[in-house]
Structure 1
Amino acid sequence: MTLTVATPHAIGRPGYTVHLPCQPESVRRARALVSSVLETWGISSLAEDGEVIVSELLTNPLDHTTCRMAKVVIERCSDDAVRIEVADKSRTRPQLKGDDAAAESGRGLFLVAALSWRWGCDEHAWGKSTWAVLKTRASAPSVFHPAPTSGSAR
């Protein structure tokens, strides 16, 4: 097993980046990283939702692409917001499917949309990054915000 160390950002917004192999065990490592980072930043109240979000975002390239590596980024956007991103080299955009409670799969992005303040997918020349922004409960509006059709909310 390869040891993967999260690298703190030296400049810009506070955050951590880690490259993980597209393997099922990487989901557990990404969840632990999100939980640890949110605890360090004193916003562990977001950890449960953050763990679910990173799991779903990382599972998409595992299940739907041939990518060998994915990059997980956790950034502190502001005092009350955290951005969780998973980037991979596939250009296939994830698709939000309906909330079919009986379905055995395909509800991941619905969960991301339900748990996050905003989410989306940015296309790049090298692939894509799928992201979600979590807000602390005190600052989060009680309105569902679907993903923008294009662009980024940073």
Structure 2
Amino acid sequence: MNLTVATPHTIGRPVYTALLPCRPDSVCRARQFVSSVLTTWGTGTLVEDLELVVSELLTNVIDHTVCAMAQVMIERCPDGVVRIEVADNSYVQPRMQEGDAAAESGRGLFLVAALSWRWGCVEHDWGKSIWAELKTLGNATSAASQVPTSENVQ
């Protein structure tokens, strides 16, 4: 059994990371990780949305890459923004699929876009990271009333 340890970073903004194997059971562990960090920070209003976002981002890595491990990072940014990021060593860029709204798969990035304030993908020398930022209720209107954007900047 692999042990996942949430690692806090002590310099700069509050950040926690977890290294997870790219297996379906890791999605549940990523959701639990996000929930515990948000509860620690007192931003529990974002738990459901961020759990769904991390589920979709990690599931994309599991389903569309051959990576053995993925890193999940959650960061508390200024102005009530929480950033979730999933990094892997694949260079395959995520893309929204045109598809049927009733389909059982292929809508993950649409959900990420609908729930987040903004999201995007950053290429690195070692692979990529896909990120999404959500605002706490005191700092934004509901995600449904926002226009989702994809920004390829960090």
Question: Cα deviation per residue 1:121-143 (whole Å; 9 max; x = unaligned)?
Answer: 00011000000001012312432
Counterpart of 2:148? 145
1:118 aligns with 2:121: no
Counterpart of 1:45? 45
Q: 1:116 to 1:10 in 2, by over 3 A?
A: same
CA distance in 2, matches of 1:139, 1:79: 7
Q: 1:99 to 1:47 in 2, by over 3 A?
A: farther
CA distance in 2, matches of 1:54, 1:34: 8
1:128 aligns with 2:128: yes
Percent identity over paired residues: 65
Counterpart of 2:103? 103
Q: Secondary structure at the match of 1:138?
A: helix
TM-score normalised according to structure 2 size? 0.93
Paired residue total: 151
Question: Cα deviation per residue 1:97-145 (whole Å; 9 max; x = unaligned)?
Answer: 2463211111000000000001000001100000000101231243213
Q: Secondary structure at the match of 1:31?
A: helix
> Which ranges in structure 1 are unaligned for 5 or more consecutive residues?
none
Native 8 Å contact 1:20 1:26 kept in 2: yes
Native 8 Å contact 2:45 2:136 kept in 1: yes
1:23 aligns with 2:23: yes
TM-score normalised according to structure 1 size? 0.93
Structure 1 runs (4+) greater than 6 angstroms displaced: none
